[in-house]
Amino acid sequence: MLAALLYGQEDLRLEEVALPTVAAGEIVIKVKTATTCGTDLKVWRRGGHAKMLKLPTLFGHEAVGEIVSLGAGVTGWEVGDRVVANNSAPCMNCFFCHRQEYSLCPNLVFNNGTFAEYLKIPSAIVQHNLLALPDDLDNALASLTEPLACVLHGVASSNVQSADRVVVIGDGAIGLMFTAVLAQKSAAEVFLFGGHDQRLQIGEQLGASRTFNHHNLKDVPGLVRNLTDGWGADIVIEATGVPSVWEMAIACGRPGATINLFGGCPRDTTITVSTEELHYSSLTLKGVFHNTPTFVREALSLLASRVIPFELLISDYRPLKDLEQVFEEMKNRQAIKVAIEPE
């Protein structure tokens, strides 16, 4: 079968590899749609990921497919079922799982390889994070389940109250998803900061109260204070993964604010935090990683409800052979998410 393998920094190759075969508890799906992700873009540009993969490796982690093979012992599923599989599953047996802190499970089973004609789903994911799709839910929309689950986890960890004034920094897919969920599900007033006017317009369609292009600004924290009666935002969501922007996000919060440092930064990077500000302003700094089985299910339900027009995030539909070009376009901010269709 044809599959994409990542060998290093911006070194992505389409190769013929063996068809996956199932062991006990596993399934194989024929990939119908695999969506690109900002995390994929970062991994491609950086040449690796601290937790999810080791090079060279099959690449991609958001996909919808149709079951073509069932391993021994798999029950409740049939060949032909249309499914979405999360890219991970917790062990359910460790210290963190017993505390329901599933994203911290040291035994998380990650699965990559969605940019391919077929994909094997490990048994842990089959047991805990494989979901059937409603007949009327589009493949590309359903493929957004994993990133939306991460966003729902982030929102739930951010202490958001109705009518809070929230700053979202970053107009990639994750920042736009945060904007939509915060505005339309949490009834927050969202100020979205980004660097691309077309994406900011999509942010407005998804519910942002105001949008700002940072290229036109000299003092983002100062503007935020002006927007919030001189105090700063109640909640700040950082969705870029740039250490300097983490520091700016902290400066945008009011006394007592929660700062969600959601964007994953490069390995071995650091930030500087004012101990005086952290202590005397009673700030809460949150690092939020990944998702949990509960949020995976909530994400699929929200997508199926069609309450929020997440289809605005799908920039294009392309064949697998165009994948490297797609990443170049994403690097140049010419696409948000692209639905890759192997057939």
Domain co-membership, 195 together with 213? yes
Domain co-membership, 56 together with 172? no
Domain co-membership, 24 together with 138? yes
Domain count, the chain: 2
Domain co-membership, 211 together with 237? yes
Q: How far apart are CA 148 and CA 182, in angstroms?
A: 12
Residue type, 127: Q
**pLDDT of the residue at 114:** 98
Domain co-membership, 264 together with 298? no
Burial tier of 294 (Cβ tally within 10 Å: 0-12, 13-18, 19+): middle
Q: Print the domain residue range for 300.
A: 2-149+291-341
Q: Is residue 140 within 8 Å of 25, Cβ to Cβ? A: no
**pLDDT of the residue at 50:** 61
Q: How far apart are CA 67 and CA 199, in angstroms?
A: 35
Domain co-membership, 210 together with 126? no
Domain co-membership, 313 together with 219? no
DSSP-derived 3-state class of residue 183 = helix
Q: Is residue 340 within 8 Å of 35, Cβ to Cβ? A: yes
Q: How far apart are CA 246 and CA 104, in angstroms?
A: 21
Q: How far apart are CA 141 and CA 304, in angstroms?
A: 8
Q: How far apart are CA 268 and CA 243, in angstroms?
A: 11
pLDDT tens across 197-244, in order?
A: 999 999 999 999 999 999 999 999 999 999 999 999 999 999 999 999
Q: Is the whole model's pTM more than 0.85, yes or no? A: yes
- Is pLDDT at 96 greater than 90 in this prediction? yes
pLDDT tens across 59-74, in order?
A: 999 999 999 999 999 9
What's the average model confidence in pLDDT over 150-163?
A: 97
Domain co-membership, 133 together with 272? no
Q: How far apart are CA 285 and CA 300, in angstroms?
A: 28
Paired strand residues for 222: none
pLDDT tens across 319-329, in order?
A: 999 999 999 99
**pLDDT of the residue at 49:** 73
- The chain-wide mean pLDDT, for the chain, equals 96
Domain co-membership, 113 together with 173? no
Q: How far apart are CA 261 and CA 241, in angstroms?
A: 8
233-238 and 253-261 as β-strands: parallel, antiparallel, unpaired?
Answer: parallel
Domain co-membership, 314 together with 245? no
Domain co-membership, 251 together with 330? no
**pLDDT of the residue at 267:** 87
Would you state the structure tokens that stand for residue 143, as one six-digit string? Answer: 């493929």
Domain co-membership, 123 together with 238? no
CA distances from 118 to 7, 115, 143, 232, 245 (A): 20, 8, 15, 48, 38
3-class SS shares of the chain: helix, strand, coil, % to 5: 35, 30, 40
Q: How many angstroms from the chain centroid is the CA of residue 39? A: 7
Q: What is the largest CA-CA distance in the chain?
A: 62
pLDDT tens across 257-279, in order?
A: 999 999 999 889 999 999 999 99
Beta strands across the sheet bearing 57-58:
11-16, 2-8, 57-58
